[in-house]
């Protein structure tokens, strides 16, 4: 058995049937990390002693014949913007280089309670700001499919580890596409749930009204398993929804025949790579072949999504990042004469260029003289974008689109052109602005064998239908091409 290519589902049955121990599984992943992660750079911190202790506890349970929790012994990686008690959490920034959180993020705590074994913390763009992982203050991540290319971002380490087989599943965060876009570029599954479905307690905030936590996995079923474990009300996050959590796994095999799949022309216009377009169109045809009805819909405000996102996100970021002042935790400049000099120097030395750019843009958008012209206007357009989806979802059950306009680009290709980088998010930011669920799953490869992702959006809190359609598509694709 190739332990590194197991799915969660495969790993838990192998552990439950005692074909493999949790300890052997964790060791296999650390061996592969030692051999291969040097060339990829997906991990920032490993916590091997802690992981092996956890694996040993699972093995002890299995030995006694006790019932095992749902993710018993599953080796996972956690994006480094999610706090983990006792394990260094940097947010990809020098300002938190030595930060050891005193508490664990709810989403991670729920995975650990379900038996998951945390291998380490995943590299990401600094404070999750970026689309290529090149904004990490430590080192970039390379795409395992072609190491001259980016893995996407900001959850680049999370996507690359799943693609490389150095974690079975990982958690990422998605403020404007940061789970779905790297999933697409690395050829794995990435799910952004509905806003409020998963608690954000312990997520180091970038833009609080847009931030989401979700899984990156090898299969849609694995994404359903992780979501089922993490979702649900948490008293520590007042925005987490008080709604029952469906059994996403049980719902996967319900038939998709008769479901209506919306296709919006605004997602297939200028700027979309021809090979990406034909792969996504073929995927939509495959869904039609499963008995889904393909229905044209219109999302007329899509063209305003990028400017709207980059105002709302930077405004919220400028406010959230005010807490990094060198006083309470994180980096403090040593050579300051006065208190305000200490704030200024700590922030100047601790933050990278993109983070500073966002703080300045956001501060400007929120400033008294410009607030109405930028922030207020952006919030109004955000409402229009949300209404576009509300209207469309009166006619359809899910909406299909590309995840990213292109396949993985080369390292350095866009790093000196922030605007070009921002445009990489054109198909993903809308779901964050509207708060609806979105998934990316592999639907093909271009002529250079680089992965292409299909994106599916659903109604608020209807992850079950999104996952069901994604699962049905994944099953036909693997049946046709032998892809697992």
Buried b (16+ CB within 10 A) or exposed e, 89-125: bbbbbbbbeebebeebbbbbbbbbebbbbbbbbbbbb
Which residues have C-beta within 8 Å of that of residue 305, sequence separation ≥ 6?
Answer: 385, 426, 429, 430, 433
Q: Which residue(s) pair with 110 in the sheet?
A: none
CA distance 441 to 455: 7
Examine residue 134 and tell whether it contacts ligand GLN (CB under 6 A). Answer: no
Active-site annotation holder among 131, 132, 154, 199: 154
Q: Which of 177, 330, 402, 444: binder of ligand GLN (CB under 6 A)?
A: 177
Examine residue 175 and tell whether it contacts ligand GLN (CB under 6 A). Answer: yes
Q: Which of 21, 104, 154, 194: binder of ligand GLN (CB under 6 A)?
A: 154
What is the nearest approach in angstroms of ligand GLN to the Cβ of residue 124? 8
What is the nearest approach in angstroms of ligand GLN to the Cβ of residue 29? 26
208 is catalytic: no
Q: What burial class does residue 480 get, using C-beta atoms within 10 Å of its C-beta: 0-12 exposed, 13-18 middle, 19+ buried? A: exposed
Let me know: does 208 contact 318? Beta carbons within 8 Å. Answer: no
Stretch that binds ligand GLN, among 1-9, 59-67, 127-135, 294-302 (CB under 6 A): 127-135
Q: Which of 112, 126, 134, 174: binder of ligand GLN (CB under 6 A)?
A: 174
What is the nearest approach in angstroms of ligand GLN to the Cβ of residue 50? 27
Residue 236, Cβ neighbours under 10 Å: how many? 14
Let me know: does 7 contact 219? Beta carbons within 8 Å. Answer: yes
Q: Which CB atom, from 104 or from 173, has the smaller least distance to ligand GLN?
A: 173
CA distance 245 to 249: 11
Tell me the per-residue interface mask from 304 to 343 with ligand GLN, x by CB under 6 A, - otherwise.
Answer: ---------x------------------------------
Active-site annotation holder among 131, 178, 199, 279: 178
Examine residue 161 and tell whether it contacts ligand GLN (CB under 6 A). Answer: no
Q: Which of 11, 105, 116, 129: binder of ligand GLN (CB under 6 A)?
A: 129
Phi, psi of 8 (to 5 degrees): -60, -45
Let me know: does 157 contact 123? Beta carbons within 8 Å. Answer: yes
154 is catalytic: yes
CA distance 243 to 401: 28
Q: Which CB atom, from 101 or from 177, has the smaller least distance to ligand GLN?
A: 177
Q: Which CB atom, from 54 or from 79, has the smaller least distance to ligand GLN?
A: 79
What is the nearest approach in angstroms of ligand GLN to the Cβ of residue 34? 29
CA distance 426 to 402: 10
79 is catalytic: yes
What positions carry a catalytic annotation?
A: 79, 154, 178
Chain residues that interact with ligand GLN, rule: CB under 6 A: 128-131, 154, 173-178, 206, 313, 425
């Amino acid at each position: 058995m190739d332990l590194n290519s197991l799915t969660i589902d495969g790993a838990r049955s192998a552990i439950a049937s005692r074909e493999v121990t949790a300890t052997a599984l964790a060791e296999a992943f650390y061996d592969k990390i030692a051999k291969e992660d040097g060339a990829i750079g997906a991990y920032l911190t490993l916590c091997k002693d802690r992981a092996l202790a956890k694996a040993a506890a699972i093995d002890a349970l299995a030995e006694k014949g006790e019932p095992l929790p749902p993710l018993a012994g599953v080796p996972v990686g956690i994006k480094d913007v999610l706090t983990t008690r006792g394990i260094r959490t940097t947010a990809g920034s020098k300002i938190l280089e030595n930060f050891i959180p005193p508490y664990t993020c709810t989403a991670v705590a729920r995975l650990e309670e379900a038996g998951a074994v945390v291998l380490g913390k995943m590299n990401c763009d600094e404070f999750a700001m970026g689309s290529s992982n090149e904004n990490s203050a430590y080192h970039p991540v390379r795409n395992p499919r072609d190491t001259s290319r980016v893995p996407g971002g900001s959850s680049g380490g999370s996507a690359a580890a799943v693609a490389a087989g150095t974690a079975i599943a990982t958690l990422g965060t998605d403020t404007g596409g940061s789970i779905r876009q790297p999933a697409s570029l690395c050829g794995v599954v990435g799910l952004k749930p509905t806003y409020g479905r998963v608690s954000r307690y312990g997520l180091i905030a970038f833009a609080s009204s847009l931030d989401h936590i979700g899984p990156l996995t090898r299969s849609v079923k694995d994404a359903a398993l992780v979501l089922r474990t993490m979702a649900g009300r948490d008293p520590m996050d007042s925005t987490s929804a008080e709604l029952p959590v469906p059994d996403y796994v049980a719902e996967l095999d319900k038939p998709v025949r008769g479901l209506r799949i919306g296709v919006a022309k605004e997602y297939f216009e200028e700027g979309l790579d021809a090979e990406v377009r034909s792969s996504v169109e073929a995927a939509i045809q495959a869904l039609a072949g499963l008995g889904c009805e393909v229905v044209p819909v219109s999302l007329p405000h899509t063209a305003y999504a990028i400017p709207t996102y980059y105002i709302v996100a930077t405004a919220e970021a400028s406010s959230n990042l005010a807490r990094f002042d060198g006083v309470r935790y994180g980096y403090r400049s040593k050579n300051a004469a006065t208190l305000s000099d200490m704030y200024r120097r700590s922030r100047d030395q601790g933050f990278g260029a993109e983070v500073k750019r966002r703080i300045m843009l956001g501060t400007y958008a929120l400033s008294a003289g410009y607030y109405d012209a930028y922030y207020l206007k952006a919030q109004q357009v955000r409402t229009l974008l949300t209404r576009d989806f509300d209207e469309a979802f009166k006619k359809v059950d899910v909406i299909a689109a590309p995840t990213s306009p292109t396949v993985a680009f080369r390292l350095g290709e866009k790093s000196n052109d922030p605007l070009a980088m921002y445009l990489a998010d054109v198909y993903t930011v809308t779901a964050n602005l509207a708060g609806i669920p979105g998934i990316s799953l592999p639907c093909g490869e271009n002529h250079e064998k680089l992965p292409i992702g299909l994106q599916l959006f659903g109604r608020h809190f209807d992850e079950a239908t999104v996952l069901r359609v994604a699962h049905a598509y994944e099953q036909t694709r693997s049946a046709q091409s032998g892809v697992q």
